Chains A and B, each alone.
Chain A
Amino acid sequence: MAARIATAPGASRSRLALLLLLAPALVWLVGLVVLPHLELAVLSLRARVAPRVYELSLNQYRTFVDEPLYWHTFVRTAVISILATACTLAIAFPAAWYIAKIARGRARSVLFVLCLIPFWVSETVRTLGWMILLRESGVLPRLLVDLGITPAPVEMLYHDATILVGLVYTSMLFMVVPLVSALESLDDSLIEAAYDLGGNGWSILRQIIVPHAAPGIAAGSIVVFMLTLGNYLTPTLLGGKNSLWFTEQIYTQFITRFNWEQGAAFGFLLLVLSTAIVWAGLKLTGQHFGAVMRRP
C-alpha cells in the first residue's frame, strides 16, 4: 500500500494521506454515480401496489415491449445515431486528413483551431443557427426561391434529414480531433513506400491508413455515438414534434408524467444500449476502454 508516498517519513502518515486523497473520489463515485444508478435500477424494477407500497415487477419493461411507440422510438434513435456516426466519420475524415497530412506549418494549426472554435459555443446557439437557416421563413428556403429552384419557400425543419444534419454538425469536433491526432502520427514514408510498391489510393487507404488510424476512428466513433444517442436538444428542436427521440420519452415519463418507474426503465434501456454499442465498438477494433478515453 502507498508505495511511492512512503518516500516521506512515516507509514501511518502516508496511509492517512491516501485516505484523504481517496475520500473525495469515493464521495463522488459512490454518491453521484454508483448509488444513483442503483436507485435507478431499483426504481425501474418496482411497481406501486398501494400508496407507498411497492413490489418487485417487470411491468415497466413489459410496457416497453408491448407499446410499439416506445420500442419504435428506441430502435429509431439507435439507427439514426449509428447513421449520424457514420456520416460524421465520412465527412470528418477527409478534412482531418487535409489538416494532418497536407496543410503545413501555420496553415495547419490555424485550420485545426478553426475546427475547434464552433464547439466552444453552446449547442443551443448552434441549433439556433440551424433553425434560422432551415425554417420555412429562413435563409436557405429563401435562397432557393431567389435562385428559382423552388417556386415557394419549403419547410426544411422537422425532417429526419434535418435531425441528421444537426447531429452530424454538433458531433464534428469529437471526430476531427482524435482523427487528426491519429493521422499525424502516421509516417509519410509508409505511404510513399506503399505507392512505390504499386499501391493505389484505395489499397493504401485500406491497408495502411485505416489500420493506423483505427484507434482514432474508434475513439471518435464511440464518443460521437454516445453523445448522439444521449442528445436531447438537437432532435427536439430540429425535429419538432416528429423527432421521436428516446431521451424525449425519458423526459416525458420523468418530468411531465411523473412516472419515475417507467422513466427509470427507459433510462436503463438507453444505458444498456449505449454501453453495448460502445463495448462492441471496442471489441471489434481491439481497443481498451481506458486507453481510448485517455486519448487527448
Chain B
Amino acid sequence: MIPSLPRSPLARSATVAYVAAFFVFLFVPLVVVAVFAFNDANYPAPPWRGFTLDWFVAGTASGRTGLFADAPLLKSVATSVLVACWVTVLSVAVGTANAFLLERADFRGKSALSLLMLAPLVIPGVILGISILAFASRLAQFADDVWGLDLDFLRPGLPLVVAGQFSYIVSIATLTIAARLKRFDVTLEEAAFNLGASRAAALWTVTLPYLKPALIGAAAISFLMSFENFNTTLMLVGSDPPLTVMMYGRMREGASPVLNAVSLFLMVASAAIAMVLMRRPGARD
C-alpha cells in the first residue's frame, strides 16, 4: 500500500526485498553475458579462469578468434547497421507523412485507415515475414512470366528484410510522431502565414522544429527495433544474415565467448542510444 497508510515493518521490508529480487531477475542475465566475455576459457561457463581480452582482440593464429578478427560476425554487424539505417529513414519519412495525414487531413475512411495503421503491431512478426515472402515471390513470378524479368530484390535478401521490418516499425514511428503533432498549436503556423511565410517555409521553420524531438525519438526506436528484429528477419533473410540471425545460428551450434563479446558491444551501443533519448525531455512520448 501507499506510504501514507500505516504498514508493518515486516510488510515494508518484504516490499523492498521483492523489488530488489525483481531487479536482480532483470539484470542477472545481462551481467552474466558481460562477465563471461572476459573469462579466459574456451566456453562461456564457470569456473572463472582469469581475465582476458582474447574474445575481443585475439587473431585467428592463437586458436581463439576474437570479435575484431571474426570477419563473418563483423560483416553481420555491418549488415544489421545497413538494414537498420534503411528502415529508420523509411519509417521516419513515411511516419511523418502518416502523422500529418492523421492529424491534419480529413477524408472519408480516415478512422478505418488509422486502425489499419495499427494492425501490423498485432500481427505476429513471423506471419508478417511469411506473408511478405509469399507475396514478393508471387510478384517475382508474375514479372518473370509476363515480362521475362528476373527481379532479384523480390527474392529472400536484404531488400525484403528491410520491407518486412519497415512494415511494422513504421506503425510505431507514426504513433510517436502523431502524438506530438497532435499537441502542436496550429495558430503558430497561422501566425507564420500571416507574417508572409509560404507553406513550405512555415513547415520548415515552425512545424518541423517543433516535431524534432519526436522525429529523433522515432528514429532511435526504429533503429533499435530494426537492429534487434529476429522473427520477421528470419523468414526473409537470404545469403547475408544480420547479426541477430547470425548469433542465433551460432547459439544453436554451441557457444563461444566471442558471442558474449559482441553482446557486450551491443549493450554498450544500446545504452549510448538510450542515454541520447533519455536526455531529451519529451522525446519519449
Q: Chain A: residues with CB nearer than 8 A to chain B?
A: 1-5, 7-8, 17-18, 20-22, 24-25, 28-29, 32-37, 39-40, 43, 91, 94-95, 98, 101-102, 104, 111, 113-118, 120-133, 135, 137-139, 142, 169, 172, 188, 191-192, 195, 201, 204, 222, 226, 229-233, 236-237, 247, 250-251, 254-255, 260, 263-264, 267, 270-271, 274-275, 278, 289-290, 293-294, 296
Contacts and interface: CB of A to CB of B under 8 A. Distances in A.
B146 interface: no
Q: Which 10 A-B pairs have the closest CB atoms?
A: A129-B29, A230-B124, A36-B131, A36-B135, A32-B167, A120-B270, A125-B263, A122-B228, A39-B135, A137-B45
Contact of A296 (B5, B131, B164, B285): B285
Contacts of B133: 254
Interface of B: 1-5, 15, 18-19, 22-23, 25-33, 36, 43-47, 93-94, 97-98, 100-101, 104-108, 113-128, 130-135, 138, 163-164, 166-167, 170, 175, 179, 186, 190, 193, 199, 224, 227-228, 230-231, 234-235, 243-244, 247-248, 251-252, 255, 259-260, 263, 266-267, 270-271, 273-274, 278, 284-285
B134 A43 contact: yes
B235 to A, nearest CB: 7
B244 A139 contact: no
Contacts of B128: 33, 36
Chain B CB within 10 A, most for which of A122, A125, A129, A138: A125
Contact of B126 (A1, A122, A128, A250): A250
B230 to A, nearest CB: 5
Contacts of A271: 123-124, 127
Contact of A132 (B33, B104, B125): B33
Nearest to A118: B26
B124 A229 contact: yes
A115 B19 CA distance: 11
B235 A255 contact: yes
A233 B114 contact: no
A114 B115 contact: no
A293 B178 CA distance: 13
A122 B122 contact: no
B134 A118 contact: no
B5 A191 contact: yes
B122 A226 contact: yes
Contact of B94 (A25, A139, A191, A274): A25
Contacts of A94: 15, 18-19, 22
Contact of B266 (A39, A117, A121, A172): A121
Contacts of B125: 230, 232
A157 to B, nearest CB: 12
